Amino acid sequence: MLNVVIPIAFFMISAALLLNLWRLLIGPSLPDRILALDTMYINAIALLVLYGIYQQGEFYFEAALLIAVMGFVGTVVLSKYLLRGDIIE
Amino acid sequence: MMRRLFPRPELSGILWGLWLLLVNSVSFGQILLGAFWAWLIPFYTHSFWPGVMSLRKPWLGLKFLGVVMVDILIANAIVARLVLSNSERLQPAFMLMPLDVKEDFTITLLASTISLTPGTVSADLTADRRHLLIHSLHVDDIEQTIAQMKQRYEAPLKEMFEC
Amino acid sequence: MELFVEIVVSICLLGGAAFALVGSIGLARLPDFYMRLHGPAKASTLGVGGMVIGSTIFFSTRGNGLSLHEILVVVFLFITAPISAHIVAKAALHLQLPTVARTRRPENKS
């Protein structure tokens, strides 16, 4: 059963990533692009967790955790830059 | 003496749990190492932390967590339906919610809870820290929505942390 | 693996993937920035949540003992998602991004 479900889930997440990419390209404003990037990394985490199940390997979790941390910092830094025109006040 | 060695017992407990989750094992060595971190990190960083907030009524906290979890599930079903329906018919609104809670920590928790639950995202805190600006995806009656959020999320938080 | 466990894992994975997709559809098709914010802030987070619960059940029932560390990813996301939504919304308000005309606003707020 899982060998049917996993490809379907892969397909759905990939469609989500393509939609994010489309929003990232068309904008129209900078916060829109930041939001699209933010959503992309969340979907990338979902994809990695799914890949971990597919490959039955436990270490993909660490990559997912790193993406979560780095993505959050990236979003905050970019937004902060838009808010203040500076990152470290 | 205990207070000086363990300035933040809750933080120590959370760190210990996090460490055991991170290494994904409960062997004796890891429990010992986790306990060491749980002592060391609060001991050396407690002077950086803003004022102490302690959970006064733990059982109320658990109940609140349960309510929020259920609300997140319902909220997502609602948002999913709204997103997939005709977006011309959505009635978005900005609303100002007056705050009864005063402490930074409680306001943060309230804003996060609001962002995670039904069709609302907290967007800004006014400069005098008395109102929270909330954007809602679809709302019929603004007054009623605010009253509901105050009663459902703010009242328990206030009771838990500020009394 | 037992059939029952497999069904539960499948439901978690499909549910998670569906929420992630809905969040991204919201991001792609809603008309203004503040409305787009709602999709990713909630649905995508819950999407990862569903995936991770499925993964936890999957790895815990393979006979190598309980495997809970994936939960950390979800805990972290549930703490950070509202914060990133808040700060992006704040940046958008600062830049005075346009809203759709029917958005209602409180009177005393610029």
Q: Taking Cα atoms as reference points, which of A44, A22, A45, A30 lies closest to residue A78?
A: A30
C-beta atoms of C38 and B137 within 8 A: yes
Predicted local distance difference test score (pLDDT) of residue C110: 45
Burial of A27 (0-12, 13-18, 19+ CB in 10 A): exposed
What is d(CA C86, CA A81) in angstroms, rounded to the nearest whole number? 15
C93 closest CB neighbour out of B95, B114, B124: B124
Q: Would you list the domain boundaries of chain C?
A: 3-94
Q: Would you list the domain boundaries of chain A?
A: 2-84
pLDDT band for position B143 (cuts 50, 70, 90): confident
For tokens 């109102």, name the residue: B131
Q: Quick check: C66 pLDDT over 60?
A: yes
What is d(CA B14, CA B5) in angstroms, rounded to the nearest whole number? 16
Q: Which CATH number fits domain B58-161: 3.30.70, 3.40.50, 1.20.1300, 2.30.170?
A: 3.30.70
pLDDT band for position A89 (cuts 50, 70, 90): low
Q: Which of A7-16, C10-19, C61-70, C86-95 has the lowest mean pLDDT?
A: C61-70
Phi, psi of B133 (to 5 degrees): -90, 125
Nearest-Cα residue of chain B relative to residue C45: B116
Whether the CB of C100 is below 8 Å from some CB of chain B: the reply is: yes
Q: Tell me how close the Cα of C92 comes to any Cα of chain A, in angstroms.
A: 6
Q: How many Cβ atoms sit within 10 Å of the Cβ of residue B11?
A: 17
For residue B54, the SS3 value is coil
Using a CB cutoff of 8 Å and minimum separation of 24, what contacts does A58-67 make?
Answer: A58/B24, A58/C59, A58/C67, A61/C55, A61/C69, A61/C70, A61/C73, A64/C70, A64/C73, A65/C72, A65/C73, A65/C76, A67/A41
Q: Which CATH number fits domain A2-84: 1.10.3470, 3.40.50, 1.20.1440, 1.10.287?
A: 1.10.287
B92 closest CB neighbour out of C39, C100, C106: C100
Predicted local distance difference test score (pLDDT) of residue B3: 67
Whether the CB of C103 is below 8 Å from some CB of chain B: the reply is: yes
Q: Tell me how close the Cα of C69 comes to any Cα of chain B, in angstroms.
A: 5
- The percentage of residues in chain B with a pLDDT greater than 70, rounded to a whole number, is 90
Q: Which helix (H) or strand (E) holds B75?
A: helix B58-84
What is d(CA B46, CA B61) in angstroms, rounded to the nearest whole number? 24
Backbone conformation region of residue A86, classed left if phi is above 0, alpha if psi is from -120 to 50, else beta: beta
C-beta atoms of C43 and B124 within 8 A: no
Q: Quick check: A81 pLDDT over 60?
A: yes
What are the pLDDT digits (tens) for B48-90? 776 666 666 778 888 888 888 888 888 788 888 888 887 777 7
What are the pLDDT digits (tens) for A11-38? 999 999 999 999 899 878 888 898 899 8
**Bond before B156 cis per omega within 30 degrees:** no
Nearest-Cα residue of chain C relative to residue B18: C72
Written as six digits, the tokens of C7 are 């069904």
Chain centre to alpha carbon of residue B10 = 16
Predicted local distance difference test score (pLDDT) of residue A87: 60
Residue-averaged pLDDT of chain C: 82
Written as six digits, the tokens of B12 are 């120590």
pLDDT band for position A88 (cuts 50, 70, 90): low
What are the pLDDT digits (tens) for B87-102? 777 788 888 888 877 7
Q: Quick check: B163 pLDDT over 70?
A: no
Q: Tell me how close the Cα of C107 comes to any Cα of chain A, in angstroms.
A: 24
Whether the CB of C91 is below 8 Å from some CB of chain B: the reply is: no
- CATH 3.30.70 region(s) of chain B? 58-161
Identify the bridge partners of residue B125 per DSSP, sorted by sequence position: B132
- The percentage of residues in chain A with a pLDDT greater than 70, rounded to a whole number, is 94
